[in-house]
Structures are given as C-alpha cells and as structure tokens.
Structure 1
Amino acid sequence: MEPPKPSLRLLRQLSDRHVLGVLFEEPALTRAQIATRAGLSKPTVGESVRRLTEAGVVRDTGERTGGRGRAGTILDLVPDLGVALAVSIAPDGVRAEAVDVHGRVVSGATEGLVLPTTPDRLERVLPDVVARAAAAAPGAVRVAVVSAADPVDRASGALVHLPDAPFLVGDLSPVPLLTPLVDGEVVVDNDVNWAARAELAATGPDDGGSAGELAYLYLDRGLGCAVVADGVVLRGSRGLAGEVAHLVTTGPDGRAGTFTDVVAALGLREPGSTAVDTAAVLRLLEAGDGDAAAAATLDGLAVAVRGVLAAFVALTDPAVVVLGGVWGSHPAFVERVARHVEAMPRRVALRPPAVRDQPSLAGARQEALRRLREHVVTGSAAH
C-alpha cells in the first residue's frame, strides 16, 4: 500500500516555510534568488510570495535589480514582525538583548548586581532592564528567553535556592515578573544548560556537537554541569539535573567530600562566600608547576574534578566533556585534568568550549530567535 500523498495545504505551508527561511537568513532578494536558495521552482516561489504578502509577512520593497535582462523585484520581510528577548541573570548583572527575525541585536540594557543578591533586588532590577530593552526595540516583544545562574524549576520557571549557592539567596519567579512585558511566552532555564545548547549548535560530530552527546562542566565562581543526550539537555524531573556542587568526590589526602567542600578545603573559596575564588585559581594556574605549593593545590582541584567527571561519565557516557568557565577552560587546567583523567577506568575526551563569549546568553539568544521565527511562520500559516 502506497503511503498517502501530502495534502496541497501541507505542500503550500512547506513552501512558505522554505521561502521565509531564506528571507530570515538573507533579506532583500528577488524571486529568482529565493528560488535558487530554497531549491524551489520560480512559479512555486511566486505563489508562496503572493500568500505571504497577503498574510502581511513579505513585502515588495519597491526596489528593482539593475543590469541586463528583465528587472527583478526586491522582496523582504515586513519591518514590524516583532522581536525576541534574550535575558541573562548572572553574578555580574542582568542583561537583556532584543533580536529581530534576522538575528540582529537591535537593542539592549544592562544593570550590575551586588553579590550575594536577593529576590527583592532582582524583582526590581529584572523588569526594569527588560522594559528598557523592549522600549528601545522596533516592534512588539513576541517571546523572552531567560538564562539564570541558579537551578530552575522545570514546571514553573522559578529559580530555586540550594544550600551553599553563591549567587541568589532565596527563590525568585521571573515568569510573572516578565509576562506583562511580553506578548507571548517567557522561557527560563539554567545558564549552564543554555551554554551547552550553544556549544551543541556550534560544534560538529567530532566534538560531540551534531552527534548530540556531550557534557558541559562549568567551573567558575559557581559549579554546574549540563548533560546533552541525543541532542537534548537532560533537566531532570524538577529541573535540578547537573547540580554537581554537592556531588561526592575525592578531597585532600584522599578523603571523600562534596565538590564544594573540597574547594573550601583547598582554600579556594572567596572570603565570606561559598563562591569559588576564581582569581586565586587563576594565580595558581599562572604559577603552574614551577611553584610546588601551587602545583599541589591544582592537582588536588584536578583530582576533585576527575571524581565529578567519573560519576557522570559512568551514568551518561558523553562523547566529549567541555570544560567551561573562567578557570575551567584555562588551557593549563584542561591539560592538568586531562592527565588525571588518563587514570580513569572509563576515559573521555576533554576540550575547552567553542563558544567563549557569554555562552549562556548565546544559547538563550539562539532559542529566542528560533521561537520568534516560528511565531512568524505559524502566524503566516494561520491566514
């Protein structure tokens, strides 16, 4: 029995999606150029452009191509399709960026934070920063995607305070704070999860990227991990997967202890805080093996990381582990951890991240753009 043929409506929707996909990536094209890039016939593109124009998504710019032959009409998306917001709630402050359907950052706003911060401070700062970015953007805000440096409850999108968390002291719910400022959905997830998604998009199969199997261990002022299996970030039933700070590992003199306690035992916590003293770790890395005391402390830290790696490598079997964060991605530390990983029964490839510039915000920005484009596609199909 032959499979059923797709309906004419479905074929038209697919053609429209292809045409929009071309114009998302490369604005201001002729019908012939769109047909070439989309792999569609000129008549099919012509019909699609007609439907999308009637739907108020595509417009004739009034410009024409020059040169020999018949002049071509320049087509583009209409300028008021709205924007998406990518928002970062991080120890260094709150940042919001508005991106248009072409992926261009068209406005932004930032404000610093005093650490450790509390929910009442963020309840004032977060909506203000987002409102400023939205007010400067050309069009309505269709979606907001939030990256937060704390665990995020999977059902509600609320930030969850865990013991010894160095950033937010208390619980916070970004969704009700931002919903009045956004026409559509507000999506919230942990910053390391967004960094892992950005890494997945930026790398190929040899780096665990398109293969969809990697772990992202974040080593900075905070400690976290994201595990990607079959291209999907594993969030856990409550969104608390990857919280490795309290994972039991090997401490000084071979004694077992939680990861965060081992960091404290090595004298690498900030004074009066549970945060890792990144400046101290970087000084040790600069001293390197030329300083016996520095080398011993770094080996102790690398052994603790090896214990963490051994736990989730045994459970999730990633193709590669990405070591992110200010000191985690330092070449000297990656090399040191790699030496200790050689002694593991099940070894795993290690590498620094491909995305280094605000990776969590980059991941949130990618998802915000994807959701904005999908809003345009589904909106055009509804007409």
Structure 2
Amino acid sequence: MVKPVEIGNLPPLSRSESLPRESPRPNLLRELSEQAILETIFREGPITRPEIAERTNISKPTVSAVVERLVQSQLVQTAGERPGRRGRTPLAFTVNSAAGFVVGIDIGSTRLRVAAVDIYGGALRELELETSRGGPRAVEEQITGAVRQIDRELSGRHGDLLAMGVSTPGVVDPETRRVTSLAWHVSATGEFDSLATLESRFNVPVLVDNDINMAAVGEKWRGLAGGVSTFVVISIGAGVGMGIVIQDELFRGFHGAAGEIGYLPLARDPFDAHHRKLGGLEDEIGAEGILTAYREAGGSADSAREVFEAAQGGDTAATQVIENAAQRIGLAIATVCAVIDPELVVLGGRIGGAADLLPAVRATVGRLLPLPTRIETSILAERAALEGALAMGLREARSQLFSRERRAAVS
C-alpha cells in the first residue's frame, strides 16, 4: 500500500518514532537498547562506544556487544580512532553509508527529475528528462526506466533501494493516496493513479504527495522554513498551488485539496466559465495567463520567461503585465494570511521565484494587512519538491533500517 507522509520530525527520526509498536515480549528491553544505540550512532556519529554508553545510559559491555553485531551486519562501520584521549584510543563508529539508498521523484509539467541519496542524504545520482506528453502510462514508464537505471548503477556500491518519495501534481486522496483529480498537466482526465504500481515493481515503500506539499517538506528540510513551525509555500509556474504546514504538520484538508489557491476568485471575471477547470487565479498569473495578457497588450513572446525578460528590458506592456501579476499574488497572500496567519510565506516556481516580483508582492500585502508578514523567495527554487520527496523517502528508509535491526535482534 502506498503510504501517507507527515512532515513532523524530518530525518533523522525522533526517538518516539523509532520505537517498536508491537505488543510487549520477553526481549523488548533488548530491542529498545539496540535501537537506541543504532539511532545514537546515526544521529551523532562518528561516536565512540564510551560516548554511546554515556548518551544512552546503557552499560558499556552491552554497547560493545551491540556495536560489534551492527558492524558484522554492515549497518555500522568504523570511522577511525578518536585521538586526544587518555588510555586506549577508542574507535569511532558511523552508520554505513552503503546500507542503502533512497530515490526521490518530482513529476513536473515539463521536466521529470529523479534523484538518489545515501542514508545520510548525500547526493549519489540525478537524472532529468522532459516529461512525456503521452499520458499517465507513458510518464509511469519514464519513471520506472529512470529508477531502474539508478538502481543498476548504485545497488552494487550503496546497498539496496530502501524507499521512494514521489512528488506529483494533482489532488492526492488522504486515505487511498491516489491522485484523484486536477493533475491536468500530465493527464487529460486530471487523474493519475498509475504511481501505485511503483511499489509493486520495486518492492519498496512509496510515499506519494502533492508537489506543493512536497515543496513545503523540502523547504522545512533544506530551505527557508527550518525552525519555522507554521508556514506556507506558494508555487507559481505552469500551475498555481500552496503547501500548508501548521505546527509542523502538513494540512491537506478533507479531500486532500487544501492549498489549491489557483481557484481563488481573484480574476477579472471570477464567474467566467473558463476558470472552472484551472481556476481564476491560475488563469491570471500562471505561465499561460501571463503570456496571454502580454499578447493581448500587443506584445510578442513565446513564454512567460520572455515576458519577464521584456519587462527587464523596459518594455512597458510587459512591465504592466508583471505588475498586475504581482498585485494578484499579493492579494492571494493577504487572503491566506488572514485565515492561517503563517510565520513565513515562501514563494517558488518558475514565476513565483522571480526576484522581480518580490518587492511589489510585499508592498501589496503591506497595504492590505495590519500585521507584518515575512515573505521570501525560495532558495531551493524548482528543486523544492524534489528535496521534499527525498526527505520523505529518507524518513521511511531510516525507519526501515531500525526495523531491520529489530528483526535481527529477535532472530
């Protein structure tokens, strides 16, 4: 079954999440001790056996026995001697970086990114392809082929594939994890259910979530939201969406559609039937909307990026289009802040991440809200969703390592 994801306590896992949930049994204390030792090595390594005993309050003989067995099972490796101490120079230990690897997948409207990291999050391999226009099945085959290529390249030196995180457009049902609707950029029907087959093909856990939710996870892990418990990520590119994090938990809503701000009625005519598919705000400030507005103003361009370039060159029509877009983005942010009151708003995506927008967006929000709102441009740019997919895959993979150690403990 494809598993849901949560944002709280991104890798490494908290102690409470790594404890076994089975009913008590005779060797439970042994299991807890071994898990505590493995997690301490993971969290604080390189670390010596005396230091592990001090951190965990587990006896030194028990620590030594467990560490020896972890080394033999290739979950832990030596990291050299720790100099500068009296008596015997103790060995330090770390979790073996070849204990396995994780794959993250980001399905964009134009680009498909597939990346692999080791158990520490260190980059191993990355592929980038043009997203197939052949529908969901063709995209699924692209993903399968890319993952198989990475698996062949890495499995010999870095262990087994442990888990996958998938960032996908569309609404992901909170219960079934199916992409039920609104994935218009990869599916003519808006549905995209074929991702569930990844788990059966590779026999590893697959964690699937909406791309902007994954971008929020990425921002929490490696972006501007580290240390921030309540924030939103607003992505503007081919589509418009928002990821919501409240008290370190992703908020998805009843249908899994929380954050679909492309449907905010902030268009010139919010009741225009044309907005029913993608939403009034997305039709106005998404890539196609910006391009259309520029052409209607007499400009000539083939992409939204060219409109931004024209504005930078002093083109009056392009400048006006960008200013109007910035104002609508500001209106959307003010609406969101009035409801959620986030500590931070992160702007990303090919359009939202444009530095030219930020001053005008901030000015609009400042005119509308009495309380100050921190609005920043993402430092992860278009990699935010991929980083989120990797983070969630890592969280699951580390849990798998602890489970593997539990199974070894009772065998």
Query: TM (normalized to structure 1)?
Result: 0.80
- What secondary structure sits across from 1:249 in the alignment? coil
Match of 2:122 among 68, 85, 104: 104
Aligned to 2:131: 113
Match of 2:101 among 80, 83, 103: 83
Matched, 1:31 2:53: no
Aligned to 1:3: none
Aligned to 1:328: 352
Structure 1 residue ranges without an equivalent (≥5): 1-6
Match of 2:245 among 218, 228, 234: 228
Matched, 1:261 2:287: no
Aligned to 1:180: 200
Query: TM (normalized to structure 2)?
Result: 0.75
1:117 and 1:341 map into 2 onto residues whose CA distance is 41
Show the 5 A alignment for 1:1-383: 15-24=33-42, 29-32=47-50, 34=52, 39-40=55-56, 44=59, 46-51=61-66, 53-54=68-69, 56=73, 58=75, 61=78, 69-77=87-95, 81-114=99-132, 116-137=133-154, 138-162=158-182, 165-170=184-189, 171-202=191-222, 209-251=226-268, 258-263=280-285, 267-268=291-292, 277-287=303-313, 290-345=314-369, 347=371, 348-356=373-381, 358-382=383-407, 383=409
How far does residue 196 in structure 1 lie from its aligned partner after superposition?
Answer: 0.8
How far does residue 34 in structure 1 lie from its aligned partner after superposition?
Answer: 4.5
1:184 and 1:363 map into 2 onto residues whose CA distance is 18
Structure 2 residue ranges without an equivalent (≥5): 1-23, 296-301
Cα RMSD over matched residues?
Answer: 3.5
Task: Note the alpha carbon deviations across 1:154-194, whole angstroms, 9 max, x for none.
Answer: 3333334428x334434322443212343331111111111
Q: Is the 8 A contact 1:109 1:130 kept in 2?
A: no
Distance 1:251 1:381, change over 3 A: same
How far does residue 378 in structure 1 lie from its aligned partner after superposition?
Answer: 2.7
How far does residue 201 in structure 1 lie from its aligned partner after superposition?
Answer: 3.0
Task: Note the alpha carbon deviations across 1:184-240, whole angstroms, 9 max, x for none.
Answer: 31111111111111212346xxx7643411111101222111111111111122322
Q: Is the 8 A contact 1:218 1:225 kept in 2?
A: yes
Aligned to 1:4: none
How far does residue 360 in structure 1 lie from its aligned partner after superposition?
Answer: 0.8
Between the two proteins, what is the percent identity of the paired residues?
22
- What secondary structure sits across from 2:238 in the alignment? coil
Q: Which structure carries more relative contact order (alpha carbon 8 Å, separation 6+)?
A: 2
Aligned residues: 362
Mean CA deviation greater in 368-377 or 64-73: 64-73
Q: Is the 8 A contact 1:322 1:351 kept in 2?
A: yes
How far does residue 261 in structure 1 lie from its aligned partner after superposition?
Answer: 3.0
How far does residue 243 in structure 1 lie from its aligned partner after superposition?
Answer: 1.6
Read off the aligned partner of 1:380 and give its amino acid letter. E
- What secondary structure sits across from 1:327 in the alignment? coil
- What secondary structure sits across from 1:376 in the alignment? helix
Aligned to 2:5: none
1:303 and 1:255 map into 2 onto residues whose CA distance is 20
2:107 and 2:355 map into 1 onto residues whose CA distance is 27
Read off the aligned partner of 1:234 and give its amino acid letter. F
2:79 and 2:357 map into 1 onto residues whose CA distance is 57
- What secondary structure sits across from 2:368 in the alignment? coil
Q: Is the 8 A contact 2:125 2:150 kept in 1?
A: yes
Q: Is the 8 A contact 1:99 1:107 kept in 2?
A: yes
Task: Note the alpha carbon deviations across 1:279-314, whole angstroms, 9 max, x for none.
Answer: 134225524xx5443332222112221232233222
